[in-house]
Amino acid sequence: MEKTTNASSTKTRPQKVNRIGLDLNFYKGEKTTLCAGCGHNAISERLIQAFYEMGVDPYQVIKLSGIGCSSKSPAYFLGYSHGFNAVHGRMPSIATGALLANRSLLGVGVSGDGDTASIGIGQFVHLMRRNLPMIYIIEDNGVYGLTKGQFSATADVGSKLKTGLVNEFPAIDTCAMAIELGATFVARSFSGDRKQMSAILKAAIAHRGLAMIDVISPCVTFNDHEGSTKSYAYVKEHDEYLDEVNFVPYFEDITVDYEPGTTLDVELHDGSHLLLSKLPEDYSPFDRKKAVQRLMEAHEKGEVLTGIFYVNPDAKTLFDIMHLHDTPLVELPEEKLRPSREVLDEIMDDLK
Amino acid sequence: MSIAEPLTQPKQHEVSDQPRINDFVIHVATVNGSGSQSANTALLRAIMQMGIPVSGKNLFPSNIQGLPTWFTIRVNKDGYLARKDHVDVLVAMNPETAHSDVMKVPAGALVVYDQPLKLDSLRDDLTFYAVPFNDLVKPVVDMPKLRKLVRNIIYDGVLAWLLGIDMESLEIAIQKQFKRKPKAAELNIKAARVGYEFAKDNLPAQNKFRLERMNKTENKILIDGNGAAALGCMFAGVQVVTWYPITPSSSLAEQLSDYMTRYRMDPETGKATFAILQAEDELAAIGMVLGAGWAGARAMTATSGPGISLMAEFSGLAYYAEVPGVVFDVQRVGPSTGMPTRSMQGDVLFTAVLSHGDTQHIMLFPNSPEEIFDMSLEAFDLAEHLQTLIFVMSDLDLGMNMWMSDPFQYPQKPMNRGKVLSAEDLEKIQDWGRYKDVDGDGIPYRTIPGTHHPKAPYFTRGSGHTEYARYTEDPVEFTKVLDRIKKKYEKARDILPAPVIEQDSNARIAFISYGTSHWPVVESRDILRNEHGIETNYLRLRAYPFNKQVQDFIDAHDRVYVVEQNRDAQMLKLMRMEFTPEQIAKLRSIRSYDGLPMSSEHLLTHFFEQEKA
Ligand SMILES: Cc1ncc(C[n+]2csc(CCOP(=O)(O)OP(=O)(O)O)c2C)c(N)n1
Ligand code: SF4
Ligand SMILES: [Mg+2]
């Protein structure tokens, strides 16, 4: 299998390695095919970094996704991990089956806001309430990127499509919902916030239970805004040489760095503004009610609150609830899986 | 037409005055949820206890309590298990249907009825036996609620005396029925005795329908197909089971869950060697099967038609990404919600190509509890060997009715886990492509997640992929993989369960059937031979896609009747898709699709109609 990186590269130049002796390259994936500047790419970068720094064994990781630009990204990180690109909105079920089969694997699921909050809302809901140990990331851009810019259910009221269509429906807050549903680790971040993203991802890797992270991840191609000097319409009007259909503007990654307890106004590629607000350092993430209240308050102020809202490290996981064997099911020998001849005889006698 | 004897219609049924021993039909009409199920099963068991072959079919409504339900017991010394159209002994307990139940039985039949219904005035060509059930139950127990529940077992006692079931057999049967509830057993036996004593003292004896001890059920078990499938899955070593409740498949998952908690907890640790999860819907259920199969586990789900519809998208992914899994389709009547508690072989055509694009699936067709047990074992081997879904096509008749069966055989072979490469294997291999044909059988090698080797990981996707599991939109690369999957499917024909062929005469006429349609065919062939002098041959399909034997069989005959329980001749359509025009020209169709298991009367009527034409 061809890979963009491989272990032998360590031979040529000595490199820094992590606690299990692997260098950063071992955590990279194929070259991305997403638009330059797409928030999803920044998230892949953070994932690579976090898994490397935490010294996670990539062979023990499975990458899972649904369908969408976001769902393509598992190909672009952790090239030495098995991956499963499922069908649209149904990644949670694939993850559930795989992790029940082998509980020693570390599952990292990547979904989009369409993949999660529309077609996949049913599976999302049940994944949250089952507390299946895995990391579930929503790369949230408020639109359907891959099908070219329709509204998703996380789009804010009043946001406008390229076609001029205005969203009139209230946005689903996946974090508030996840808390409500019993998720045991709920966080939100911004794809450009390297520091916060890394911290949250590392905490998620360490969490024993389901870790749900909604990452605001701007779509540079379809998150358009009329009147913006960097909008699709504006650039198109001012550049006659562009191939209209295939045109994708090139943007630099947006990065932010701001202190806990403060807010930050970020101007996005399309000229729109995102008012990020970070939970203060002394915020205690163990109170569900307060967490939801905080989210509601921020929502009313028009701010996007970020940070780890809620953690319950002691909740029973799906594995606990099912009394699942400590040995991964796939590693149990045939003797443990097929009852003896005597058992069949006993059952047959019982049925006579 | 090349039949020696002139063809006649099957004889109209009428009850003659000749005593009929161990060959008649008991039909019990009750109200759903009234405890009649235990009474009926106990009756079935009691007859079996006497060594007489017997089969029972439950015609129940899609309702929990209060709607009419019928239970038909066919006693047959020759061992025919198919449903019969007529009734010899009616037990009329349901006021709602009593009138029409009585009007439907043929002249000469016996009718046991609840006295207040006053049915004896309806007809004068039947023998009526009035039983005051309410009065009889009073001394048995005080609590009104319990009275309601044991009231029905009284007719078991009445029938025991009337038809010649010895009380000992009936009591053993009731004991078995309430094995884990000794109190209930005691009470029910008491009630049955009351019925027996009442009948002995008050009802005139009859000699038309008699049960006499035989020795044809020695060592037999009584089990429903869903229970048999559950056992098969447990002994197949299933690891992950996901399901969403739907009649008539729920009892498969539920019985499996019972068996597994009893026999598959690891004695050393007390922990489960399996995961059984009730999913949020069938999309999730099949998704979980795929996830588990991909991760290297034996995984299955059980569902029925509406669930199969929901599983379409994931089934296509399993086909194309080559993920193993087993799906039990316990078929019920469609289209749409149809008649959820009635039986049909209605999903055959849809399942064969379930999902969009060029998708082809493998189906197995069990006809008995014993066979569904064996096929459950085989299905997991096949799924992992072929890296695809295996659909086990049961139906409500097989799945939910109690069948007399030989005890099941312990698996003969170790499990076949298919072509899985370990880290050591990968070390020795130069070039591994997840979707490459190495052995010429179209079956690629796979690795499972958690394999510690740099060559092991690959990306599974439903989008276009190369032999090396890389994304592609290249026409050549894409078709290469698709053609190889086709090759795998074609080669599978020879390793799937072969048809069972009975071809020991030079007969020109033949039958083909599958699943539960088998039972009326067996009986009809005997009737054709014994009563009409017509020899026929028979092929029973056990898997799709067909193997070469099916075409050879058709070639060897002039007319081949495909017998199935759906309106659109679904199996025959699948044959038309790939057989030669000469073969197709020989095919004829006999179908039923009213929700009732097909009877030999129905089969023969349609047979003669077409033979005459
Ligand atoms: C069953 C089904 N319906 C529709 C589609 C088409 N489709 C592909 S991606 C997508 C939306 C993706 O949006 P999102 O999850 O937000 O991902 P993004 O591209 O924005 O990252 C849709 C509707 C599909 N693949 N499958
Ligand atoms: S269309 Fe939007 S979401 Fe998709 S890759 Fe481009 S920027 Fe990212
Ligand atoms: Mg999106």
Nearest residue CA, atom 16 of ligand 1?
Answer: A114
**Nearest Cβ partner for B273 among A64, A337, A352:** A337
Which CATH number is correct for A19-330, 3.40.50.980, 3.10.28.10, 2.40.128.130, 3.40.50.970?
A: 3.40.50.970
Please indicate whether, in this complex, the C-beta atoms of B271 and A323 are within 8 angstroms of each other: yes
Q: How far is B129 from B399, CA to CA, in rounded Å?
A: 34
User: Is residue A303 within 8 Å of A275, Cβ to Cβ?
Assistant: yes
Q: Spell out the domain ranges in chain B.
A: 20-218, 223-405, 419-497, 500-612
**Nearest Cβ partner for B290 among A74, A97, A323:** A97
Residues with CB under 6 A from ligand 1: A 67-70, 88, 112-115, 139, 141, 143-147, 152
Same CATH fold assignment for domains B223-405 and B500-612? yes
Tell me the mean pLDDT in the region A325-352. Answer: 97
User: Is residue A261 within 8 Å of A281, Cβ to Cβ?
Assistant: yes
A96, A99, A111, A324, best to mutate vs chain B, most B CBs in 10 Å? A96
Residue B529 corresponds to which tokens in the numbers above? 């031979």
**If you ran DSSP here, which 8-state letter would residue A342 be given?**
H
Judge whether residue A281 has pLDDT over 50. Answer: yes
Q: How far is the CA of B582 from the centre of ligand 1 (A)?
A: 48
Residue B524 corresponds to which tokens in the numbers above? 């009809």
Q: Spell out the domain ranges in chain A.
A: 19-330
Q: Which residues contact A198 (CB under 8 A, 6 or more apart)?
A: A46, A49, A50, A53
- In chain A, what's the furthest Cα-to-Cα distance? 85
- Helix locations, B457-502, DSSP H: 475-492
B41, B277, B448, best to mutate vs chain A, most A CBs in 10 Å? B277
Judge whether residue A246 has pLDDT over 60. Answer: no
Residue B369 corresponds to which tokens in the numbers above? 């509890």
Residue range B223-405 forms a domain whose CATH class is alpha beta
Q: How far is A21 from B71, CA to CA, in rounded Å?
A: 70
Nearest residue CA, atom 1 of ligand 2?
Answer: A145
Confidence of residue B188 (pLDDT cuts 50, 70, 90): very high
State percent of chain A over pLDDT 70: 86
Q: Among A12-16, B364-368, B400-404, B426-430, whose mean pLDDT is lowest?
A: A12-16
Could you tell me which residue, B19 or B350, shows the higher pLDDT?
B350
User: Ligand 2 pocket check: which of A32, A219, A250 to mutate, most ligand atoms within 8 Å of Cβ?
Assistant: A219
Quick one: which ligand is closest to A216's CA? Answer: 3
Judge whether residue A14 has pLDDT over 70. Answer: no
CATH 3.40.1670.10 is right for the domain spanning B500-612:
no
User: Is residue B64 within 8 Å of B126, Cβ to Cβ?
Assistant: no
Q: How far is the CA of A72 from the centre of ligand 2 (A)?
A: 10
DSSP 3-state of B168: helix
Q: What is the pLDDT of residue B442?
A: 98
User: Is residue B518 within 8 Å of B538, Cβ to Cβ?
Assistant: no
Q: Among A14-18, B198-202, B484-488, whose mean pLDDT is lowest?
A: A14-18
CB contacts of B280 in chain A (<8 Å) are: 122-123, 125-126
Q: What is the mean pLDDT of chain A?
A: 86
Nearby residues for ligand 3 (ion, Cβ within 5 Å)? A 112-114, 141
* Min distance A159 CA to chain B CA atoms (Å): 32
CB contacts of A326 in chain B (<8 Å) are: 269, 271
Q: How far is the CA of B294 from the centre of ligand 1 (A)?
A: 23
Tell me the mean pLDDT in the region A302-328. Answer: 94
Across the beta sheet with B536-541, what order do the strands follow?
A: B500-502, B536-541, B509-514, B559-564, B587-591
| Any A CB within 8 A of B223 CB | yes
- Helix locations, B418-467, DSSP H: 423-428
Give A70-127 pLDDT, tens digit per residue.
999 999 999 999 999 999 999 999 999 999 999 999 999 999 999 999 999 999 999 9
Confidence of residue B382 (pLDDT cuts 50, 70, 90): very high
Q: What is the pLDDT of residue A175?
A: 97
Give A32-80 pLDDT, tens digit per residue.
999 998 999 999 999 999 999 999 999 999 999 999 999 999 999 999 9
Confidence of residue A275 (pLDDT cuts 50, 70, 90): confident
State percent of chain A over pLDDT 90: 64
CB contacts of A103 in chain B (<8 Å) are: none
Judge whether residue A256 has pLDDT over 80. Answer: no
User: Is residue B71 within 8 Å of B58, Cβ to Cβ?
Assistant: yes
DSSP E strands: which ranges in B294-410? 299-303, 325-333, 339-343, 362-364, 389-395, 402-405
DSSP 3-state of A126: helix
State the Cα angle at A131 between A125 and A134, rounded to 5°. 100
Quick one: which ligand is closest to A34's CA? Answer: 2
Q: How far is B56 from B40, CA to CA, in rounded Å?
A: 8
Q: What is the pLDDT of residue B340?
A: 95
User: Is residue B305 within 8 Å of B347, Cβ to Cβ?
Assistant: yes
Q: How far is the CA of A191 from the centre of ligand 3 (A)?
A: 13
Give B252-287 pLDDT, tens digit per residue.
999 999 999 999 999 999 999 999 999 999 999 999
**Nearest Cβ partner for B450 among A97, A102, A352:** A102
User: Is residue B102 within 8 Å of B67, Cβ to Cβ?
Assistant: no
Q: What is the pLDDT of residue A222?
A: 80
Residue B143 corresponds to which tokens in the numbers above? 């609590």
Q: What is the pLDDT of residue B593?
A: 97
Q: How far is B238 from B377, CA to CA, in rounded Å?
A: 9
Judge whether residue A231 has pLDDT over 70. Answer: no
Give B285-314 pLDDT, tens digit per residue.
999 999 999 999 999 999 999 999 999 999
Tell me the mean pLDDT in the region B68-96. Answer: 94
Q: What is the CATH number of domain B20-218?
A: 3.40.920.10
CA separation (Å) from B545 to B300, B377, B582, B584?
21, 19, 20, 16
Nearest residue CA, atom 2 of ligand 2?
Answer: A219
Number of Cβ within a 10 Å radius of residue A167: 18
Confidence of residue A223 (pLDDT cuts 50, 70, 90): low
Q: What's at A325, amino acid-wise?
A: H
DSSP E strands: which ranges in B280-411? 299-303, 325-333, 339-343, 362-364, 389-395, 402-405
Number of Cβ within a 10 Å radius of residue B569: 19
Tell me the mean pLDDT in the region B534-556. Answer: 98
Q: How far is A103 from B587, CA to CA, in rounded Å?
A: 52
CB contacts of A79 in chain B (<8 Å) are: 457
User: Is residue B596 within 8 Å of B517, Cβ to Cβ?
Assistant: no
Number of Cβ within a 10 Å radius of residue A258: 18
**Nearest Cβ partner for B284 among A7, A81, A123:** A123
